[in-house]
Structure 1
Amino acid sequence: MVIGHIKEIVRHPVKSFHGESVQKTKVMDYGLYGDRSHAFLDETRPEKFLTITQFQGMVRYKARFIGEELLEEYPKVEIITPDGKVFYWGVEELTKEIENKSKRKVSPISYTPLHVPIGAIEEEHIQLVTDASLNKLKEVWGKKEINYQRFRPNLLISLKDKVPFIEEQWFGKRIKIGQNVEIQLKRHCERCMIITVDPDDAERDSSLLKTVVKERNNHFGVYASVMKTGEIHVGDEVLLFD
């Protein structure tokens, strides 16, 4: 059954940096190609990553891959700072800036295209939200706009039938995207303070999290695991099946 189409594809080359919206990408067995493949370890918390929770200004750093999606190695990761400076991943000046602004000692870490451990993503392979649920949450929240990137999803699905939160009834089912890709819907996405941070200016609004807690039992969006890999494109049909 066709339930809609892919409206946005978003990956985050650097964990907790602003994601990049792409027209197409590979789906690997760990999720979208390169998603959360680069990160900063927070040396003040052994074996933990630095995230928006510790330094909310991270969300204003924009990261994107420059070049072809190769399986041997990642393309260069270009990073634009809130001040407009341009760095490539791995330069010491970027690490020093993150340290100075976060007031923490950090170390850059990266993985390979064929192996991004679940630890970098910390949950399942892919997170998705639907346009109907976003619109309903905006209505309940009572604000004029709600930037879907607050929720840091990988896929934004435009539904044929605009039924809010219908995706929460898909657990255990699969969806097929395009020609080959299949993912299985697993569970709710439980929310934290990260959604209170505006991805454009890093300003916080705690009322959004309070709304999600009160109205949605702190759930918004769903997690999925990759069952079949391949390539997906914006506009691909999404089919739901058992």
Structure 2
Amino acid sequence: LMAELAALKAALQPAEVLLVADAMTGQDAVNSAAAFHKAVGLTGVVLTKLDGDARGGAALSIRAVTGAPIKFVGVGEGPEALEPFYPDRVASRILGMGDILSLAERAAAAVAEEEAAAQAARIRRESFTLEDFRAQLRQVRAMGPLSEVLGMLPGLGPAVQQAGGDGGERALRRMEAILDSMTRKEREDPSLLNGSRRRRIAGGSGTSVAEVNRMLRQFAETQRLVRQLMKQGGRLKGRLLPPA
């Protein structure tokens, strides 16, 4: 295989010779990179499954052994999860300092500017409804796996890795299923949600009435916090919300 690759390189004279390596294989990925670099001379590396490599060790080791830069990283399963590699951001994650820049970029990609402005206007009018709550849940999910998003926040990376699992992701999906099982009128006016409607929503979402009640309590708490923030008036204006 190595001889064939060397012959192809000599015949084609490619501008780039990239190795795609699996970060989860650890030392095996490093050994493979060293062997390929010796045979064909790598100009760069694409490292996949970096979201599962808690300490980023493969990225550091491959760079040290081959001298070839890490050009792209895969942090998920879809093509949109292929991202440029930023050494400073990975270093911040390794040190538990988060990655606010990547988080901000994901948020900007997930939330359209017009929708953000519309939500801000509704919050100013103190008309934050279950419809807005559902839109925000979808925006959070559009940013990627919840554990990965939380891992970008300063100080939370090690805690998220230690906790493991995808319980938070499952909880978000169940909350969204509950909201999807409501009519638009019910989402706009939660006071309509009597016992009969809550049983219907639980049946339609594959959840229980207790889960529906818990989600409504969480929404009520969110609504209370929004109103409390709005009462701060001048301190909030110009900081969290765009000008009216």
TM range (shorter): under 0.3
Bigger RCO of structures 1 and 2 (CA < 8 A, at least 6 apart): 1
The alignment's TM-score, normalised by the length of structure 1, stands at 0.25
Which has the greater radius of gyration? 2
Question: Would you tell me which structure has more strand in proportion to its own residues?
Answer: 1
